[in-house]
Amino acid sequence: MKQKHIQHLYWRIGFGILPNALEKRSKQNKKAVVDNLLRASKEATPLTLDTSELDDLMGGSYEKSKENRMKIQKISREKIKVLNVAWIERLADPKELLREKMTLFWANHFVCQDNNYVYSQKFHNTLRTHALGNFKDFVVAISKEAAMTKYLNTKQNRKQKPNENFARELMELFTLGVGNYTEDDIKESARAFTGYSHNLQGEFVFRKRAHDEGVKAFFGKSGNFNGDDIIDIILENKQCATYICGKIYRYFVNDTIDENHVNNMANMFYKDYNIENVMRYMMLSDWFYDKKNIGIKIKSPIELLVGIKNVVPVDFKNPKQLLYIQKLLGQILLSPPNVAGWKGGRNWIDSNTIVMRLKLSSLILNNAYISKAKAGTSDAAMDMKKQAFKKNFGKRFKTESNWNYFNNQFKNVDINDLENHILACNINESASAYLQSLSKVSRQEYCVQLMSLPEYQMC
């Protein structure tokens, strides 16, 4: 398989690939590379923190006092911050690369947020468990998650007073897309999901007394439907397969839809709604590696941050600064802006975020310093300038960069070839001329220079 195609694959279904792994994969054909990726992601490793303190507060003798609720909320707020950092670390060094990237994808599809950490962790790991599985099972599981029943008010959905929030978003955002259902479909669907609730531990509970046992008319069918029945009927509509494949295509291939390619994916997906199969089809398709699809997507803030950490492992001495960076970039994991999630694409970049994005690598790897020394500048002069810069500007983030790891991974890469490993797209003439004029004193300095280019924003 061509190295450029392997890099493209790994930038899209991961966060890049290092030289040693690239060399190994380049000796394999496309099928072998894809099979290895899928094989490595067969199992799901949950991401969990110690919840014993919360378990005690929410246990069998749980007292619904204001004091207890405040304790749960306080502990949960801190735990969710820790989970955010742990998720970043997992993405930067995953055992199941494709599964982890798919978990990130589904988190912005089945959008949900909860202030109870136990429920949030459970929901997060449900995404991971089903990320490459059967989509029907996935939707059913999501519909019964405590975090989701709270977020979209299914818990308040009773036969005397149906709440339509989940029923609406189920079709509009999760399965069919806007305009592929009627208001009556929403009303009848909401009736089917009445009685959905959970206990204090976040386990699904079906409250039969609150469920509407009457006949519902939904998508041309009539019956005493429950929530699972509604999901079955929705998935019978091929529009569901087309909608999901369209979202996968925009995320992994190109923001601009190619209807032929998406329809081919949907034909595959509609057969059994197996997510792994449709991902395999996409990764093996020749069009996935077309020139028009390479290096043209704007990295999300998380892809940008994790991509840097993939090349140069960096440890934040104050984990809160990692959350602060996400806030500045416009994407805080576990804290979506609304039920529709982040829009992505060009929306990632505006006048506020672009400066931070271009400076990110220098801020966290090099004390905010970007060497702009022209060829011929003495090492002593450069060291003096760097120390002065560090003193005045390099205290914003307390980090420790593992440059030894970087040097070991890139030891066989000529410094002039470094851009082919760091950048996903070709650099323009002016940027190329600028780089050529600089003094390439080390791979480390040049790496930061490359990561500070606008081209590094693309994958």
User: Can you tell me the mean pLDDT for 157-178?
Assistant: 97
pLDDT of residue 435: 87
> What average pLDDT is seen over the chain?
93
**Does position 384 have pLDDT exceeding 90, yes or no?**
no
In degrees rounded to 5, what are phi and psi of residue 171? -85, -45
Q: Cα separation of 15 and 417, whole Å?
A: 19
d(CA 409, CA 296): 26
DSSP string, 400-439: EE-HHHHHHHTTTS-GGGTHHHH-SSPPPHHHHHHHHHB-
User: Is residue 412 pLDDT above 60, yes or no?
Assistant: yes
Mean pLDDT of 122-136: 98
Count of CB atoms within 10 A of residue 232's CB?
Answer: 15
pLDDT average, residue stretch 370-382: 56
Whether the Cβ atoms of residue 337 and residue 428 lie closer than 8 Å to each other:
no
Res. 390: pLDDT tops 60: no
Share of the chain above pLDDT 70, in %: 93
What's the rounded mean pLDDT across residues 438-453? 90
49-103 pLDDT, tens per residue?
999 999 888 876 566 778 888 999 999 999 999 999 999 999 999 999 999 999 9
**pLDDT value, residue 362:** 94
**For residue 29, what are the CA distances in angstroms to 14, 36, 198, 336?**
19, 11, 48, 39
Q: Say whether pTM exceeds 0.75.
A: yes
Whether the pLDDT of residue 392 is over 90: the answer is no
pLDDT band at 282; cut points 50, 70, 90: very high
Q: Are 113 and 137 in contact (CB under 8 A)?
A: no
User: What's residue 383's pLDDT?
Assistant: 58
User: Which candidate, 139, 197, 187, places its Cα nearest to that of 163?
Assistant: 187
Q: What are phi and psi of 51, to 5 degrees?
A: -115, 15
Q: Which tokens belong to 281? A: 């089809």
Average pLDDT over residues 256-281: 98
Instruction: Yes or no: say if 367 and 282 are a contact pair by the CB < 8 Å rule.
Output: no
Please say if the pLDDT value at position 10 is more than 90. Answer: yes
What is the model's pLDDT at position 436? Answer: 86
Task: Report CA torsion sign: 93, 94, 98, 101.
Answer: negative
CB 166 within 8 A of CB 154: yes
Q: For residue 288, what are its two tokens?
A: 């996935």
Q: Does position 440 have pLDDT exceeding 90, yes or no? A: no
Residues in the chain: 459
- pLDDT given at position 389: 47
- Confidence tier at 33 by pLDDT (50, 70, 90): very high
pLDDT tens-digit profile of 284-341?
A: 999 999 999 999 999 999 999 999 999 999 999 999 999 999 999 999 999 999 999 9
pLDDT average, residue stretch 237-259: 98
Average of per-residue pLDDT across 414-418: 94
State the DSSP code for 158: B
In contact, 15 and 306? CB cutoff 8 Å: yes
φ, ψ dihedrals at 316, nearest 5°: -85, 120
Residue 393's pLDDT is what? 45
Q: CA-CA distance, 434 to 439, in Å (whole number)?
A: 10
DSSP at 313: -
Is the pLDDT at 395 greater than 80? The verdict is: no
Would you say residue 186 has pLDDT above 90?
Answer: yes
Contacts of 25 (CB under 8 A, 6+ apart): 1, 6, 17, 33, 36
